[in-house]
Structure 1
Amino acid sequence: MSAADTKAADPAVPVQRHPEEIGSPPRKGGRPPRKAGALLPYLLIAPAFVAIAAVFAWPLVKTVIMSFQDVGRRELWTGEAPPWVGFDKFTEILGDGEFWDVVLRTVVFMAACVIATMGVGLLLAQTMQRMSPWVRMLLTAGLVAAWSMPLLVATSIFRWFADSDYGVVNMILTKYLGLDFQGHNWFLDPKQGFVIIGAVVVWGAIPFVAITLYAALTQVPRELEEAAALDGAGAFGVFRFVTWPVIKPVFQMVATLSVIWDFNVFGQIFLMRGNKPEPEYAVLGIYSFDKAFESNSFSQGAAISLITVLLLSGVAVYYLRQLLKIGEVE
């Protein structure tokens, strides 16, 4: 045995190692040292976080602060520090019967719009499955064009449709269906008016719902549908036991988004009623706007906005859970 081997075998003799073989000492807790490049992703998304904070986070903080103050026109124009009133604004709002009438009207309008949107969107998506490719491409282009149409243009078209003197709806009901709707004003009765406004909302939301659900339907295995049909299942049975389980997560996600969007409807009502909606057409968005800018009670408007956020927080949590479930499945 050589001297070198004897030295290596003897535990009392330290073994000499090359400097490159000696790494940095292990960190406390056994974690490897953080590489400098690990911070690069955070640096890349930092501008986006700054922009989001400037556009969303800071206004939200200001809204929260205003809801606990008594901000009037004087404080808004002069910059004077408004007095703090604590929860007085929330107490006034929650104790007002008109507020709860507005909440009920908002929920009913939202539910009707979501049900109509999801129903028509699902039927249209299933119809797109049975179209030839070029017809489906034309329909998809039309849906995208309708979805990208500015809200002002869409509301102007529907106002013309429902016009009492020159409206297409009155002309069709009178001339072709034999009904007496000549000169009928659809907005005198809020129930009829909300039908027209709801048509604007549904028309603008259907393209997104139909295209998204069609994409989900393309993931349903054809073999399973054919096997269910061979086993004697009808069209409804195939949809219930084969198609629906596959598209259910996407359907729930889109429905949740529709709930959030339709709960916050503002522009359609505001524009359809000539920028000054009547109290009978007030939903939470319109009600908050009226309190803030018509009654000059900016703190009440801020408090109503926060209550709306709290009402929608549960829906937002459900939406995030659906996103996480879809991510886990994928």
Structure 2
Amino acid sequence: MQAVDSRATAPQMPPATPSTPDKQAARVRRRRRPQWTPLFLAVPALVLLAGLLAYPLGRMLVLSFQDMQLRHLFSGATPPWVGFDNYTQILTDGVFWRVVRRTAIFTVVSVAISIVLGLAVALLMQRVSNGIRVAMVIVMMFVWSIPQLVSAQIFKWMVDADFGILNYLIDQIPGVDFANHSWFASPTQGWIVITTLVVWAGVPFLAITLHAGLTQVPQELREAAMVDGASPWQTLRNIILPVLRPLVIIVTTLSVIWNFGLFTQVWALRDSKPEQEYQTLATYAFTQAFGRNEYSLGSAISVITVVLMLGVMAFYVRQMFQIGDVD
């Protein structure tokens, strides 16, 4: 009889696979292993940022501990050192804290409105046809690309007391007299105009970004929710928002950083002379430094603003790392 090869008849065993604990241990080792590639790729950007910002920030910090006056600027003499006197003067000034509170309130209100409207537009973009969606993206990109100074000038003309189109349209309502109405005579109405301008310019970025995030929500989850009888609000709250949470955190933090440094819109709408009721931290520092020639005080205010912004940026970076760990 012909010999039979035992290797041919023996059942083929599947290759050994690591057990679940082994997989987890390997995953932990990969996470603990230093990843130098991302850091190496980020080095050029970090070097560029350091070259552009290191000297201005360092000079501003040094100047905040001095007492530079206009005579020092022209003579080139070294200003005297005053230590923390500038910070003491600012932190004990009630006007400064009113400016901080006004800036914080504006930031919270404008960011909240922007996020809600941006999410609403993003949801709307999912329900329209492709042609309308493309048209919406083109229009929003056009709005977002307009320079802040140009958009501020457009809004300034729209709310002008003598020739503004907004006053003209409201004046056409029977029983309403809005002729020669000044929107900035009342700080409340003035900040409504400023907030509307900032929201109008910020919604396109948020809508397009959130719409991109909505494409990552599994359609199966939505269909399952509809089969189970969930309302649109329940689907949004229990399915869409949890998936979008990391992206919402990122765009919200970016919006806070951008809106907290509000300057151009206020400066342009108030003809480069914002009244006390319209001062933000950015305009207040600029006014102190170049309006009153208190350069050291302006530098100290700027340093405090940078410290406050660094707190928000630290939260942003922390969220980015957490999202990276999850991925």
- Mapped to 2, the partners of 1:204 and 1:322 lie a distance apart of 25
How much has 1:93 moved relative to structure 2? 0.2
- Mapped to 2, the partners of 1:54 and 1:74 lie a distance apart of 30
Mapping for residues 1-330 of structure 1, pairs under 5 Å: 48-176=45-173, 178-330=175-327
How much has 1:44 moved relative to structure 2? 8.2
How much has 1:47 moved relative to structure 2? 5.7
- Mapped to 2, the partners of 1:147 and 1:255 lie a distance apart of 17
- Mapped to 2, the partners of 1:317 and 1:47 lie a distance apart of 21
1:300/1:255 Cα in 2 relative to 1: closer, same or farther (>3 Å)? same
1:260/1:192 Cα in 2 relative to 1: closer, same or farther (>3 Å)? same
Say what the alpha-carbon RMSD is for the aligned residues. Answer: 1.9
How much has 1:51 moved relative to structure 2? 3.1
Deviations 1:155-213 (A, max 9, x none): 11101110112212112212146422111000111111111111111111111111111
How much has 1:117 moved relative to structure 2? 0.7
- Mapped to 2, the partners of 1:177 and 1:305 lie a distance apart of 49
1:320/1:41 Cα in 2 relative to 1: closer, same or farther (>3 Å)? closer
1:50/1:133 Cα in 2 relative to 1: closer, same or farther (>3 Å)? same
Amino acid at match of 2:70: R
How much has 1:263 moved relative to structure 2? 0.7
- Mapped to 1, the partners of 2:189 and 2:38 lie a distance apart of 53
Q: Give the total of aligned pairs.
A: 292
Give the secondary structure class of the aligned counterpart of 1:274.
coil
Amino acid at match of 2:209: T
Give the secondary structure class of the aligned counterpart of 1:86.
coil
- Percent identity over the alignment? 45
What does residue 6 of structure 1 align with? none
How much has 1:296 moved relative to structure 2? 0.6
Once structures 1 and 2 are overlaid, which stretch shifts more, 164-173 or 114-123?
164-173
What does residue 23 of structure 1 align with? none
How much has 1:46 moved relative to structure 2? 6.2
Scaled by the length of structure 1, the TM-score of the pair is 0.84
Amino acid at match of 2:75: T
1:63/1:108 Cα in 2 relative to 1: closer, same or farther (>3 Å)? same
1:43/1:264 Cα in 2 relative to 1: closer, same or farther (>3 Å)? closer
How much has 1:53 moved relative to structure 2? 2.1
Amino acid at match of 1:273: R
1:102/1:45 Cα in 2 relative to 1: closer, same or farther (>3 Å)? closer
Give the secondary structure class of the aligned counterpart of 1:81.
coil
Amino acid at match of 2:201: G
1:71/1:267 Cα in 2 relative to 1: closer, same or farther (>3 Å)? same
Scaled by the length of structure 2, the TM-score of the pair is 0.85
- Mapped to 2, the partners of 1:68 and 1:178 lie a distance apart of 58
Deviations 1:192-242 (A, max 9, x none): 111111111111111111111101111101110110111111011111111
- Mapped to 2, the partners of 1:71 and 1:178 lie a distance apart of 57
